A and B are shown apart, each in its own frame.
Chain A
Amino acid sequence: MSPEAAAERPRRRADPQAWLRRALALPYGWLLLFLLGPFLIVLKISLADPIVAQPPYTPLFEVAEDGARRLAASLDNYRFVLSDRLYLYTYLNSLKLAAISTLLCLLVGYPMAYGIARAHPARRNLLLMLVVLPFWISFLLRVYAWMGLLGTNGTINELLLWAGVINAPLKLLYTDTAVFLGMVYSYLPFMILPLYANLERLDPDLLEAAADLGSRPRQVFRDVTLPLSFPGVVAGCLLVFIPAMGEFVIPTLLGGPESLMIGRVLFEEFFANRDWPVAGADAVLLLAILLVPIGLFQYFEARREDET
């Protein structure tokens, strides 16, 4: 278009996409500034050496005596983290705990999401609100509440002793079981909500068609409901798995000394050992691990978009 024509165009016919671009710029700018920025700082720290100073790591560029700057990055921290058996164990243990927590959330969350999606429309909102209700209380408080429930002199033990079911208090707190309880409890809504959103959209005609063609209810579920809810399952699992992998509060407060999770180790490297570079390397590796499921999710989403 010629410049004159462009000038003649009335104002209100301006490109409607411009508004959209502006609306998108804000969140993306925010992410760039406060996610990518800190990440680059962490990446920089992970390439440095720890020193007793303020800040407690060597600068990225060494200033030589002749005033020239020299890049002083090393992958030593990564080598250290990857060669240390404790770290390897911690990563594997985190993966295991996060995976089991995710699976438990799925097993508990799927029937709940299904139930809510099949409930009378008027009751669905109430049921959904009940799922989200715990968020109204601080996360930390709720984890502390579990300590009160699970402790040696906690509510559950007291109740069981009083009822005569047990003679001596059970060791509930500071176990992997307690971690799983805490994880499932905390992350369940993240599983239920995407699953609900998916199951609620499921066309009831499809279920009836399957039944009409000879499927018993269990087969209808296996042949139709389950495969069609797969995107919801993937979304829910990722929403639980990703934060569970880096979870720090729950294993620290509810877990025993053996339930080492990467988030907890990271915290200790950073605050107790003041070894920022190793903590940085830990964080970068954690992110690298999480990129795998995120990539998988993107792949499945893209494939699903193609199909519909």
Chain B
Amino acid sequence: MVLEATMICIDNSEWMRNGDYSPNRFQALADAVNLICGAKTQSNPENTVGILTMAGKGVRVLVTPTSDLGKILACMHGLEIGGEMNLAAGIQVAQLALKHRQNKKQQQRIIVFAGSPVKYDKKVLEMIGRKLKKNSVALDVVNFGEDDEGKAEKLEALVAALNTNDSSHIIHIPPGPNALSDVLISTPIFTGDGEGGSGFAAAAAAAAAGGVSGYDFGVDPNLDPELALALRVSMEEERARQEAAAKKAAEEAGNQEKGENQSTSQDVAMAENVNAGTSEPESKATDLMDDENALLQQALAMSMDDSSSNVATRDTDMSEAASEDQDLALALQLSVQDSTNDQSNPTDMSKLLADQSFVSSILASLPGVDPNDPSVKDLLASMQGQSEKKDEDNDKEQKEDKK
């Protein structure tokens, strides 16, 4: 929470047309400036930021220090590239602008973006540095682009001349795939001195660390923290639910295998089957709904090929997949559930029909059928009396007849 007035000196010389930073040096610089302006104005509500250009037709102050972020960002549009950078003049104009700041409590800071060669002598820069130090101005230098005529050395000397208490920094950013702003995020220029930086800086850094996707769920947690929290909580609940379902499915699959192998423990198997069977219509419905989901289909087909005996190995596969691809993992989970249900159904259909409560619940769910109807009850009773080897097709026909 440093209270600061900052002047940002932009290099808009011809050198900035170079494309060695994506998309070009000037665009990269503009992005970085936007980022820093945001960080500075958010770290303290009374912070002010101003912008000036060092090239073109001489040094030009675009915005005097203001806390209005919109004003700052607006001035960055339509900037023209041209001329050569005048570093000494730029820094001195910036110092003048800072000197006349409204709030004398603000610390003074100049941030210089230097992308073109520095024509000034090292001695001149050191003199300017001492002058800044005397006026209690801190200076950050972002050195990128050209590196001729000992530019890095000169800028180092400039910063060294005024550095007190480690308040001034210089960073060298070589051309590369990383955007200028991404590199800046992790530097003390962006995070501020000590204190781990502002909340904005931390959030931006976290977003950058998380990858290019930026914010979770496409919502900026800074703009709407409550929404972001709600989304995160519901995401976690959903994840927990899916995990529990997967666990249950695996258990059921294991139990069913047991039931199939040991026909003597029929009661247990039956109870399990009731569970599996009741969920069958729902899962079938979801199958139809997700018909267009090619990924799911593929996963289903794969899991159908597998025999239910290797459920355990498949589970480990799934956990591996989960770490790689969430979508795939989800599809796999669903398919495991489905396949265990599907596999159990044809073989155990006769057992299922033997269970009165299950059949009556099915009948109740059918339209136009009253399970309490005496004729239906009679039929059910007769069905139970029949042998368990009865063909499932016949049963289905009977049911259809009833309809």
Do A and B pair up? The answer is no
